[in-house]
Chains A and B, each alone.
Chain A
Amino acid sequence: MKKSNKKVLIAVLVLLASVGFLIYRGLANTSVYYMTAGELKTSTLGRQLGADQTVRVGGLVVDGSIDYNQRDLSLRFSIKDENNPQEVIDALYNGAKPDAFEPEIEALLEGTYDRDKNLFLADTLLVKCPSKYESEQENPKEARQ
């Protein structure tokens, strides 16, 4: 191998190694578990989570549970597991209520879970746009009758 090629090769390898390190560090620092409300409450992994460990949880907003204080910008609600609706978690989010937020909508929360109070403190709240781009749960046949 020519000397110049060797140098290029070494530079590329160094570059690749640092990329690998960046990705490894990024994953180690930022990855969080995702689970459904039911899994967070009952699964072994869910139970092992520390009270200060960030986790992402998904569930449906329980009808009648929404309590929004516009003055203080605090939003209290409960989410239930889509498949096990009896598993319910209370949640608190400090911020403005998103437009699409309404009962029975799928919500994604990221934050920490206080198991003793069954309270999820959400730092971020994402709701799936109900119509998405495709109105899948809304069959026009039914909607129009």
Chain B
Amino acid sequence: MITFGNFSQAAALFFTLLSMGLLLCGLSRNNVRLVQAGKRALISAAIATTLASIALAYLFLTDNFSVEYVASYSDRALPLFYKLTAFWAGQKGSLLFWAWVLSLFIALVIFNNRREADDRNTPYVYLVLAGTLAFFLFLLCAVSSPFETLGFLPRDGQGLNPMLQNPGMIFHPPTLFLGYIGFTIPFAYAIAAMITGNTGADWIRKTRAWNVLSWIFLSIGIILGGQWAYVELGWGGYWAWDPVENASFIPWLVSTAFIHTAIIQERRGIMKVWNMVLIQLTFLLCIFGTYLVRSGILQSVHDFGSTGLGGYFLVFMLVAMIGGIYLLAESYSEFRTPGSIESYLSRESTFLFNNVVLLALAFATLLGTIFPILSEIVTGNKITVGQPFFNQVNTPLFLILLLLTGICPLIGWRKASATNLKRNFLGPALTALVCGFIMLAFGVTQPYALLAFLLSAFVGATIVQEYLTAIRSRKKLTGESSASAGLRLLWKMRRRYGGHIVHFGLAMMVIGIAASSAYKLEKQGTLRQGESMSIGDFELKYESFRQYEKFNRTIYAATLGVFRDGNRIDELDAERRYYINAKQPTTEVAIRSTLAQDLYVTMPGIGQGNEITLKVAVNPLLIWIWFGSFLMVIGGILAIIPSRRKAS
């Protein structure tokens, strides 16, 4: 199997290079058959990477510890499910996963286009895709192969890091990867459009589903990462502005900007150059994200450490960047458009402002992330910025973004009239103000939190108002009931309402983030059995202690009674787990989630006589973050469901 894996990898690289050769020849000789052969070679590469992936999975499932990668990330006691997912737990396997998914995506693009005759663009599209694939396959074959052997057979593997034995962590990396990889496709189409000078919105229309889908995967990946940190790492938060987290957030911001201006180009044919820049930036930042995690240049709680791959990624990024800038400069004149934004009170201009803010957020986050490196280059001293920097800079920017999110749907394309504006604004603005006053009455005085609530209410109200108006006019037109008019509207105009649902989810997330960061309660304490501690309205009583074995771990659990107003309303089990093969114990978080707040308990220590140390927090409205993010994903999916009458 090891030879088979190595062979498949090498075959994949061979087919990819072959396809690049065929495509280049086909282009220079204007030969359609060569281009067809190039596509077939790419499909062969996809089959070969699939076989290599099956080989690696097989090695994990059969506990073949003579393979270095398997020995490092698995052991006999590991549950079957985690044996499979250990595939991408480390650097080398995740690289293979990356190449595999990219090759499948390429095959999917070829399959999707099977009925369409190739235009001038397509050979270039496949050429760019093949080039990217070749880069990853080269790394796999020449630098960092997961099929490397130890030269002997150890009795057992080292096991999977217990912190990675969690469903959130299992799906966090692959979804993030799917997002990163997905943006390769619009990037390839953009490059092809620049080479051939096809300046229309054609490439944007063709890749819209890829864009939004990649964005959805990126969002899910980021959210799962936050959720994993929250329920598994046990430091009480979901986001710490850690370099590795930022690495995924920066491309998310830029791709969000791109998705918005892509709509403008589709509708108005302007901002062509800008979109070219944004999609290239997104792609580069995706690669940069993978680079950052593997380079070891930043101090992060969770990176791969220095892997010796950094240099290769830097070179790849430089090539892509210089190539992109060159092509843009070459084709700049063709991409310039006479059209312009007609009024500062138009939807286009709110999109433009939204772009400025999103890019500013991306820039500030990037700057903060690499500041230690920059400052060392400039001053010779390492200067770091931590969470306070990101919170201080990004919070106001996010609030502006939220305001724009609310204003945007109220303003029409091209130019909005003043009376129109007044009529549309009145309801939402009043709702927001009333919400603000209610919050004030409840004692919310922290200005950012208050603003966040107010603006979220504004965004929510604009969306609801727009939806209700549309339902009313549809009822008048068709005579349907409100419910059926509402549902039909959602389905018929799913692209628009998908977007609205995403924004609604965003507003919910903001409420959760603002409440849980501004009004979080935290406490630490050490209890003997029978003692209790209080936090907020809650009282926690240490009732009993037990110890038991399960699968590959020993568990120490303290049962805590949760009391409110003297009544025992619930109980929580705080756990510490000692995994076989792991040097240190892990803390298992106990959470009591309600709509109003999360009661969050970890047990960082067990002392003599089973005396326990507890870290307790109350996070108000935290669950809203997960609800909101769920809505964002649903909205995104709704927006890209293709219509049945496909333009053929």
Contact = CB atoms under 8 A, between A and B. Distances in A.
Contacts of B91: 133-134
Nearest to B155: A144
Contacts of B396: 22
A45 to B, nearest CB: 6
A141 B68 CA distance: 9
B301 A128 contact: yes
Interface in A23-62: 23, 25-27, 29-35, 45, 56, 58
Contacts of B615: 96
B605 interface: yes
A70 B611 contact: yes
Interface stretch (A9-17, A84-92, A113-121): A9-17
A8 B371 CA distance: 32
A131 B607 contact: no
Given A2-B340, A96-B615, A70 B381 contact: no
B307 A70 contact: no
B202 to A, nearest CB: 27
Interface residues of A, number: 54
Contacts of A135: 72, 158
B613 to A, nearest CB: 5
A81 interface: no
Interface string B370-386: 01100100000111111
Given A73-B524, A99-B587, A16 B356 contact: yes
Contacts of A71: 526, 607, 611
A71 to B, nearest CB: 5
A79 interface: no
B7 to A, nearest CB: 24
Most A-side CB within 10 Å, residue of B89, B307, B343, B393: B393
Nearest to B602: A96
Interface in A97-112: 97-100, 102, 108, 110
A140 B71 contact: yes
Interface string B347-359: 0010011001100
Contacts of B371: 27, 31
Contact of B526 (A11, A16, A73): A73
* Main DSSP-derived SS at the B contact region: mixed
A134 B72 CA distance: 8
Given A32-B384, A33-B381, A98-B604, A133 B352 contact: no
Contacts of B301: 126, 128-129
B353 A31 contact: no
Contacts of A143: 158
Contact of A102 (B368, B397, B584): B584
* Main DSSP-derived SS at the A contact region: mixed
Given A4-B344, A73-B524, A99-B587, A34 B382 contact: yes
B341 A138 contact: no
Interface in B261-320: 299, 301-307
Contact of A31 (B385, B587, B611): B385
Nearest to B234: A99
B392 A129 contact: no
A100 B400 CA distance: 40
Contacts of A99: 584-587, 604
Contact of A129 (B72, B302, B356, B613): B302
Contacts of A129: 161, 163, 301-302
A138 B73 CA distance: 12
Contacts of A29: 388-389, 392
B54 interface: no
A42 B615 CA distance: 37
B345 to A, nearest CB: 9
B583 A130 contact: yes
Interface in B424-449: none
B72 to A, nearest CB: 5
Contacts of A25: 392
A22 B392 contact: yes
Given A19-B397, A96-B615, A140 B382 contact: no
A24 B100 CA distance: 43
Contacts of B386: 30, 32, 56, 110
B341 A4 contact: yes
A105 to B, nearest CB: 9
Contacts of A128: 299, 301
A144 B157 CA distance: 9
Interface string B581-616: 001111100000000000000001101000101010
28 contacts: A4-B342, A12-B352, A19-B356, A19-B363, A30-B386, A31-B375, A34-B372, A34-B384, A68-B605, A70-B605, A73-B526, A98-B604, A99-B585, A99-B586, A99-B587, A99-B604, A102-B584, A128-B299, A128-B301, A129-B161, A132-B304, A133-B303, A134-B91, A134-B305, A136-B305, A140-B154, A141-B152, A144-B154
Given A8-B344, A128-B301, 17 more contacts: A11-B349, A19-B357, A22-B364, A23-B393, A27-B371, A30-B389, A31-B385, A33-B383, A56-B384, A58-B299, A97-B604, A98-B604, A102-B583, A129-B302, A130-B584, A133-B302, A135-B158
In the A-B complex, list the 3 residue pairs whose CB atoms are closest, starting with the nearest.
Answer: A96-B604, A34-B382, A26-B393
